[in-house]
């Protein structure tokens, strides 16, 4: 069964007027992990229960990029939802999801862009969330920094959501794209931080390992450099049940 980002990618490709060809596609890519077939990581894809959910609102071609890490979030978090963003239209399923009483949505974005009354930096204890019958749903704006700011400003259906502002001591270790803002995290890093705040430490660590392994395979294929298949992240994933 394809996950939400894979389905969004397929829909976006079907709507494209011309084929989308990512750089480095010459040798052919695995449809399951988007890596060069010689560096496929599908056999290591982890499987574990996760109580929280993630809602990805994605820039126009974000789901098409092989380096997109929202795909990795959907690999690890079973309840991941993915929607393409447009200023003039919204998929009706998105506001319906945000209004679903089983979820408590948190819009993840820096505090300085939101009204102070909306901002939180901590989450209720997992026991408190369970007692009120609502699971945390992290709404992550997945795109370039300029795209994410535009989504934040021009999406009225997000205006009522509490804004979860992350304060992390460590800088991003993401290596697949360059950013002029070294403190910005990639989507998988944001999701992992949110999972940790929600008491899902195991899932956060697994997502971190999955990002590390994916990045290592991606860069090895791109730069034709040796791949360390015995790294700690590889070993931890090899010891887990695979998702199949």
Relative to beta strand 135-142, strand 53-58 is parallel
Tens of pLDDT, residue by residue, the chain (244 residues):
589 999 999 999 888 665 555 554 455 889 999 999 999 999 999 999 999 999 999 999 999 999 999 999 999 999 999 999 998 999 999 999 999 999 999 999 999 999 999 999 999 988 888 888 899 999 999 999 999 999 999 999 999 999 999 987 665 555 555 544 445 789 999 999 999 999 999 999 999 999 999 999 999 998 888 899 999 999 999 999 766 5
Q: How far apart are CA 144 and CA 146, in angstroms?
A: 5
Q: How far apart are the first and last CA of the chain?
A: 10
At the second CATH level, the architecture of 48-111+120-167+181-200 is 3-Layer(aba) Sandwich (3.40)
This prediction has a pTM of: 0.91
Angle CA 69–75–79, to nearest 5: 110
Q: How far apart are CA 56 and CA 237, in angstroms?
A: 24
């Amino acid at each position: 069964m394809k996950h939400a980002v894979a389905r969004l990618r397929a829909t976006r490709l079907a709507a494209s007027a011309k084929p989308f060809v990512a750089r480095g596609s010459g040798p052919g890519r695995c449809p399951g992990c988007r890596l060069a077939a010689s560096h496929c990581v599908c056999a290591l894809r982890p499987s574990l229960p996760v109580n929280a959910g993630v809602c990805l609102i994605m820039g126009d071609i974000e789901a098409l990029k092989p380096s997109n890490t929202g795909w990795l979030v959907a690999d690890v978090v079973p309840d991941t939802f993915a929607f393409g963003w447009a200023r003039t239209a919204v998929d009706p399923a998105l506001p319906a999801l945000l209004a679903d009483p089983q979820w408590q949505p948190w819009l993840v974005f820096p505090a300085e862009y939101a009204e102070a009354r909306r901002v939180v930096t901590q989450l209720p204890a997992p026991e408190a969330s369970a007692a009120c019958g609502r699971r945390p749903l992290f709404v992550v704006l997945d795109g370039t920094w300029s795209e994410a700011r535009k989504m934040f400003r021009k999406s009225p259906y997000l205006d009522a959501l509490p804004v979860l502002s992350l304060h992390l001591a460590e800088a991003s270790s993401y290596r697949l794209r360059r950013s002029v803002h070294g403190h910005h995290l990639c989507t998988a890093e944001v999701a992992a931080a949110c999972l940790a705040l929600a008491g899902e430490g195991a899932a956060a660590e697994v997502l971190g390992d999955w990002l590390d392994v994916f990045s290592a395979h991606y860069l090895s294929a791109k730069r034709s450099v040796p791949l360390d298949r015995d790294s700690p992240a590889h070993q931890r994933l090899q010891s887990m049940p695979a998702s199949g």
